[in-house]
Structure 1
Amino acid sequence: MAYIKALTYYLPEQLLTNEDLVKEFPDWSVDKIAQKVGVNTRHIAGENETAGDMGEKVARKLFEEYHIDPQTIDFLLLCTQSPDYFLPSTACILQERLGIPKTAGAFDYNLGCSGCVYGMAVAKGLLAAGIAKNVLLITSETYTKYLHPSDKSNLSIFGDGAAACLISTEGFAEIGDFVLGSDGGGANNLIIKTGMARHKAMTGKYTTDEEGHVNFDDYLYMNGGNVFNFTLDIVPSMMNDVLVKNNFTQEQIDYYVFHQANKFMLNTIRKVCRLPKDKFYINLEETGNTVSSTIFIGLKDCLENSLIQKGNSVMIAGFGVGLSWGGTILKF
């Protein structure tokens, strides 16, 4: 059995408000941005603040908040698509910076919107195999460093942030069975083409897609229409598979916390899947889309505001870059 034993998040100090965006893009209005994506404010990592730095800050916050001795951690997982270096693994660096024992395993994995669900699945596997008893799962992303200054669509959606979750043999939320999937055929729908082995040097090139969005080789590109269609195609069937695998009916789910992509997409998912509005979490106003951290941030927010209570069963689901998806049920 695997449980969530501790959970918290960290947001950088610097803010990017809708008023700031309107100054840069006068053809937009504050209300238009808020209505379209559901975001009022985003937190932006400092110029020299990395995913590793945020990972350290959120882990220390977790240790303090829950009185956790880092010496009890015997495995460290870091989900990030913006690591500090090509190599070594940022997780190994965090092991030393956090005072976690050298006997603990540590590695990064490169995944975005479904990353926290994948990490929970790996952590549960490590516990089941007897490899670890206390797995520290950190999600940390600085997507805003990958955005072109003229890319107003993505600038309005994404924010930076990190979350930390301690997964252990005991805790306050039992982790159920997982449904995971991937489709690399959609890789080009959310991609940064340069900077790694395939195209190491920046090209400075750009094209315009069928939606009129500019595709910069050297910055984050998202084909919003294709990602939206993928989500509407995969989420209903994933939800059903999660229910079947965990022997639940939809009526037995008390709350839904899905990846906070944007307000329009989440509202569409809720309507297509016929989910009650009062059971479906949407809250991107102060954070934006923090990629792999959105679900953990949402869960923490729900716990602090009593939206999730003891005895509740909560479905979580992530979907996006990869393309990839994953879901499970948490029993509080």
Structure 2
Amino acid sequence: MHDPSGKIAARIAAIAVHLPETILDNETLSRDFPIWQADQIEVKLGIRERRIAGADETAGDLAVAAAEKLFASGAIERDQIDFLLVCTQTPDHAIPGVACIVQDRIGLSKRTGALDVALGCSGYVYCLSLAAGLIAAGAARRILLITTDTYSKIIHTGDRSVRPLFGDGATASLIEGDLETRSHIGPFVFGTDGSGARHLILEAGGTRLPRSEDTARLREDASGVVRSADTLSMNGPAILAFTNREVPSSFDALLAKAEWSRDGIDRVIAHQANKFVLDTLAKKLGIPAALLPHRFAETGNTVSSTIPIALAALHEEGSLKRGEKIVLLGFGVGLSWAGAALTW
């Protein structure tokens, strides 16, 4: 059956995941921060370990490795890709964009479009909308969507507030156009509140505040957290309050737009921040906790990669069934959020 609009439909055809080799486990963190016990970290956050990029390993390197895994799976040949989207907030260089570098490194055609998207936790959903839009417009037919970040490189090792949360990783998703079915991706809802940008920020390193001896100076706050302006700063309570305030109404708006009922959805895959955030969110959304899976125990919060990592894990476990109605919810740095209706 053709899409009633006459447009080419879009679907997620395959997902590959790549994680760095180095593991940061809770035992190591408890040695670095005696105030934390290893079992307490897992109980509160639901995270046992995170993967950490090597000293010379960049987001671009992880992106290339994820793409090569996708090609090795047989899902697509590299010469069939006609557009590349790379979502990252830790690019190899300020200029040029990492998508252009990755295009060359993985041997895509010079006729391939390549674009960076500088979003974090909402990035996968935003990029799905871009991919679906390119396909619907006839601008592309087979899109390689890569998410990749190395947050460990912008976190101070003495910052016990964020170091236990984040891990590094990358995913490569194949988004294909299909003339034979209705669109499997969308509709979408979006939201932005830039007034909260300061709550999750890397202050130095851009043109607003170039790095200097002063920005590198370590500071310890009243709670004993150590960081500098050169490293990531997060106001956890403010981010949690934003999530609880904005995501439930966005969820309701998406269900209305998709004409789905709460009882009719099979699964909600939210940004895999940590156990505490997702347990709280399930209550705020008014859904059983079983509908909101957790797949971050061995990866931590991998920023824009958390949703595709969860999708890939569920698919490999065989728990995703054809035709399932899935809600995707991304939220975080920006402040930015987005939701998508997805039919598997």
TM category, shorter: over 0.9
Alpha-carbon separation, structure 2, partners of 1:211 and 1:318: 29
Report the counterpart of residue 28 of structure 2 in structure 1: 20
RMSD: 1.6
Report the counterpart of residue 197 of structure 1 in structure 2: 207
TM-score (norm 1): 0.96
State the one-letter code of the partner of 1:15.
Answer: I
Deviation at 1:22, TM superposition (A): 1.2
| Secondary structure in structure 2 of the residue aligned to 1:111 | coil
> Is the CA contact 1:255–1:308 (under 8 Å) kept in the aligned structure 2?
no
Deviation at 1:150, TM superposition (A): 0.5
Cα 1:210/1:322, change in 2 over 3 Å = farther
Deviation at 1:27, TM superposition (A): 2.1
1:224 to 221, 236, 243: 236
| Secondary structure in structure 1 of the residue aligned to 2:15 | strand
Report the counterpart of residue 193 of structure 2 in structure 1: 183
Deviation at 1:99, TM superposition (A): 1.1
State the one-letter code of the partner of 2:45.
Answer: V
Report the counterpart of residue 76 of structure 1 in structure 2: 84
Percent of aligned pairs with the same amino acid: 45
State the one-letter code of the partner of 2:241.
Answer: N
Report the counterpart of residue 305 of structure 1 in structure 2: 317
| Secondary structure in structure 1 of the residue aligned to 2:148 | strand
State the one-letter code of the partner of 1:195.
Answer: G
Is the aligned partner of 1:254 residue 2:266?
yes
> Is the CA contact 1:6–1:66 (under 8 Å) kept in the aligned structure 2?
no
Report the counterpart of residue 16 of structure 2 in structure 1: 8
Cα 1:212/1:228, change in 2 over 3 Å = farther
Question: How many residues get paired?
Answer: 332
Alpha-carbon separation, structure 1, partners of 2:283 and 2:220: 31
Alpha-carbon separation, structure 2, partners of 1:197 and 1:96: 28
Report the counterpart of residue 127 of structure 1 in structure 2: 135
Report the counterpart of residue 141 of structure 1 in structure 2: 149
Deviation at 1:306, TM superposition (A): 2.3
User: How big is each residue's C-alpha offset from its partner over 1:146-174, in whole Å with a ceiling of 9 and x where there is no partner?
Assistant: 11111112111100000111111139981
> Is the CA contact 2:17–2:171 (under 8 Å) kept in the aligned structure 1?
yes
| Structure 1 residues without counterparts, runs of 5 or longer | none
| Secondary structure in structure 2 of the residue aligned to 1:329 | strand
TM-score (norm 2): 0.93
Is the aligned partner of 1:238 residue 2:228?
no
Alpha-carbon separation, structure 1, partners of 2:243 and 2:231: 23
| Secondary structure in structure 1 of the residue aligned to 2:269 | strand
State the one-letter code of the partner of 2:52.
Answer: I
| Secondary structure in structure 2 of the residue aligned to 1:136 | strand
User: How big is each residue's C-alpha offset from its partner over 1:281-322, in whole Å with a ceiling of 9 and x where there is no partner?
Assistant: 112210000000000000011111122211211111100000
Report the counterpart of residue 4 of structure 2 in structure 1: none
